[in-house]
Structure formats: structure tokens, C-alpha cells
Amino acid sequence: MIEEPIHRCGDCFQCKNGQSNVCQNFSITGMHTDGAYAEFTTVDETFVHGVPESTPLREAAVAEPTSIAARAVLEQSSLTPGDRVLVEGPGPIGVLVATIADSIGANVFVSGLDRDAKYRLPLVDDRGIETVNLAVDAAEDRMTSFTDGRGFDVVFDTTGHHTGVEDAVEHVRKGGEVVVIGLPGDGSELRMTPVVRGEIRIETSYGSQWRDFEQAIRLIDNGTIEPAAMLDTSFYADDPTAAFEAFLDSETCKPVFSFD
């Protein structure tokens, strides 16, 4: 079994309106309640999903970020097969967004920073998806060539940095779409005039719902998502700091704690 970490109340307007991912009274395991790093915990059956026997439990740990990526690509975006897509940020959500978009026939391009060049961008390259290190001088030329100079049809901002949406607007085509998934801590200085004049649609995607989790489990089980390459099982629950530091330094993509 796996748990949805964001628990909806089921009673507010949003929950009753089919928008439980933006529940007014949500709680998050590990943030509002303790026990997220315990080897065993109790969870209301409303928030658990069965894992097929054919899926290793270790790989099922990727179901939650996969559910977020699936919602962003398959529900919140207008992406269609053949679209030229830019994914900003090769973190776990970015890698999964790129993989799902690629699986439905989009032409995907993933951008990262210099610190991503050693581990995360090669991880995407190994999936046969084109990448670019933005610190390289030819980055803009490569993106221009990839889109025949018109810009990307859809840009997914998974960076969590306030400049992400600003850069997305620079790279999307007129009449295109930007989907913001990352959560910046600082305010953006997005200029709205080019957004309005270019009729650029800005969409957001937050968390996931029950059906997104079920879809994520199926995507893992049928091999669309192959978690093994992005999982890092070298960390232990009694030393979580090591995992967070490695993640923030882009030395790993998806840390998973072991209890052995």
C-alpha cells in the first residue's frame, strides 16, 4: 500500500466540487502530523492505494511525484502528440513530466543548470530525451533550432524558482501555454504585456487527486515510468539530512530512505 500524503477533508466546497487537491482544510503527513519517517504508521483507508504485486514497493515510492506529473501533463495542460515541449528543471517532477510527455508523442526538451550536468541531465539523456545546460553558450541557439524559431508549444516550469515562469514566457510561442508546477518562495517579476499580446495561457498544477494516484500506479506498473534509474536508495531514515543535502546539491534525483 502507498499513502496520499495530502489528506483532503471531504467536506469543503472544493472537495465537493471535484477539486480535492486544493482542499481548504487539507493536512500533510510529516508537516501537520508526525510519523512520516517511521517504518510503520497508521493511515485512514481513504488515503491509501493498493500496489500491484508486479510493482516492487521501492518503485511504488515514486507514485506520489508521478501523480503530480501525470496531473500536470494529462489534465492541466493542453499538450497533444507532436507538440514541442520544454520542461524547465530536471528534478524528480521535471524528469517525470518529461517522461510522460514523451510517452504520448511530444517532442520534449529539458533544461537544467550547471549543477545538474553531472547527474540529473544525463539521467534524462539516458531516456532518449534531449537536454540542455543553460550555462552553455549555445543553449538559446539549440532551443531555437529545436522549435524552428517559433518557440515551444507548451512549457512546464518545475523549477520552484521565481524566474522559472519568467523564462517560460520567453521560450513559449505566441498562443502557447505555460504550466507552472514548482512553488517559488519569492515573488515573480513577470511582465504581463508580452503575455497578453501573445495570448499566452498560464496554467497551474498543484498536487494530485485520487484518480491521479491510481493513474500513476498504472504508469509505473506498465513500464511507462521506470523508477529504478531515478531512485537513490543509499540513504537511511536515521540520517535524513544527508538525503536532503544531496538533493539540494543536485547530486541525486529521488532519495528513498531505507530502514535496514
Tens-place pLDDT, residues 153-193: 999 999 999 999 999 999 999 999 999 999 998 898 999 99
- For 27-33, what is the mean pLDDT? 85
Domain residue spans of the chain: 2-65+209-258, 78-204
Write the CA distances from 90 to 96, 134, 146, 152, 212, integer angstroms.
9, 12, 18, 17, 21
Cβ contact 33:82 at 8 Å: no
Q: What pLDDT is recorded for position 162?
A: 94
Cβ contact 72:205 at 8 Å: yes
Q: What is the DSSP letter of 34?
A: S
CA angle 120, 182, 227 (to 5 degrees): 40
Same fold, 2-65+209-258 and 78-204: no
Nearest CA-CA partner of 49 in 67, 37, 73: 67
Cβ contact 210:3 at 8 Å: no
Angle between helices 63-71 and 210-221 (to 10 degrees): 110
Does pLDDT of 194 surpass 90?
yes
Classified by CATH at the fold level, domain 78-204 comes out as: Rossmann fold (3.40.50)
Does pLDDT of 29 surpass 90?
no
Q: What pLDDT is recorded for position 108?
A: 99
Q: What pLDDT is recorded for position 176?
A: 98
- For 115-141, what is the mean pLDDT? 94
Lowest mean pLDDT among 165-174, 196-205, 236-245: 236-245
What is the residue-averaged pLDDT of the chain? 94
Say how far apart CA 101 and CA 97 lie, in whole Å.
Answer: 6
Does pLDDT of 222 surpass 90?
yes
Q: Which residue has the cell 508580452?
A: 194
Say how far apart CA 171 and CA 147 lie, in whole Å.
Answer: 10
CA angle 16, 18, 21 (to 5 degrees): 105
In order, the DSSP letters of 193-232 are: HHHHHTT-EEEE--S--HHHHHHHHHHHHTTSS-GGGTEE
115, with CB counted inside 10 A (0-12, 13-18, 19+), is middle
Write the CA distances from 133 to 109, 139, 165, integer angstroms.
11, 7, 18
Nearest CA-CA partner of 100 in 224, 222, 208, 2: 224
pTM assigned to the model: 0.93
Residue 101 cell numbers, joined: 510527455
Does pLDDT of 195 surpass 80?
yes
Q: What pLDDT is recorded for position 124?
A: 96
Convert the pLDDT of each residue in 63-96 to its tens digit. 999 999 999 999 999 999 999 999 999 999 999 9
Domain 2-65+209-258 in CATH 3.40.50.280: no
